[in-house]
Amino acid sequence: MPNLLYAEFIKFKRRKIFLFGILAALIFPVFNSALLSEFNFASIQSGVREDNAFLLLMPMLIILAANLFFVEQDNNTLKNLLCIPIPPKKLVIVKLLVLLLFSITFQITGFAVSTVIAVIKNIPIVDPFFQFFLTVSTGILIWAAALPCIVLVIWFNKSYLLSIIIVFFYTLTNYVMHFSDAIMMQPIGLNAGTLMPVPMIFRWLYQFYKPAGDIQTAFYKRFSQYFASTPICFFVLLLEAFICIYIMFRIYDNREN
């Protein structure tokens, strides 16, 4: 397993998309620091967790997944790997571990850049370890949130163009949902606000924001009864992740047969 993981990272690093992915973590921290005149350390880091994670990291994870899962098919090396033999399930696990490590690294990079900007602008660094925990946790949850879409990419097994179309639709649909009161303001249960990954993550994140002004305070009070606790959020997202991984195993088993 360690050798396979190392080999995947070597292949990953050789592609320009890896460097682009890491550099993309700088976009919103720098953009927000230039755009916003008044903000504190928590609001800077919330930009990393929201803008960076949901608008950049999740679609990037799915595109990178297509790259990782199609590389053997494109180079006609999958049969060689299976003859060694390397179980298809192990290949799936290794590729998903690479994506998980990339997701966490992406978020940590955004956190580091935002912290440097805060120091340069003389913004007090308040609760850095807690903010770091939220940022890394978001990286893990975004990885889990991307898996249903990655299942579709693997299942269709067609092309990068189709993968990009799936990415756009999945990311847009999930992100738009978190603006809907009808979806977000539902009790924990069998509903879209609980089962859809992005709305669920926002229901967890919102409780850690400190409202400023009457409008935000009123929204916070109205929405507070629908917050998702950390254990529940992680349980739901990781349970869905395990289901997605099981489906990936089944897809590869069927292709092998």
- The CA distance from 177 to 174, in Å, is 5
Q: What is the DSSP letter of 206?
A: G
pLDDT at 171: 79
Q: What's the mean pLDDT in 96-113?
A: 89
How far is 177 from 183, CA to CA, in rounded Å?
A: 7
Q: What is the pLDDT of residue 2?
A: 63
The total domain count for the chain is 1
Contact 65, 99 (CB under 8 A): yes
Range picked from 10-24, 133-147, 197-211, 212-226 for highest mean pLDDT? 133-147
Asked if residues 107 and 53 have their Cβ atoms less than 8 Å apart, the reply is yes
How many whole angstroms separate alpha carbon 76 and alpha carbon 127?
A: 50
Q: Which range in 16-30, 53-67, 124-138 is most confidently predicted, on average pLDDT?
A: 124-138
> Any alpha helices (H) in the chain, and if so which ranges?
2-13, 16-24, 27-35, 41-47, 58-75, 78-82, 88-120, 128-156, 160-177, 181-184, 192-195, 197-205, 214-223, 230-256
pLDDT digits (tens, 9 = 90+) for 26-48: 666 666 666 655 577 887 788 77
CB 121 within 8 A of CB 35: no
Asked if 83 and 9 count as a contact pair (C-beta separation under 8 A), the reply is no
Q: How far is CA 129 from CA 102, 135, 226, in A?
A: 21, 10, 26
For 98-104, what is the mean pLDDT?
A: 90
In the predicted model, is pLDDT for residue 77 greater than 50?
no
What domain range includes position 110?
2-256
Question: From residue 206, how far is each of 63, 77, 158, 217 by CA, in Å?
Answer: 28, 45, 38, 12
pLDDT of 86 strictly over 80? no
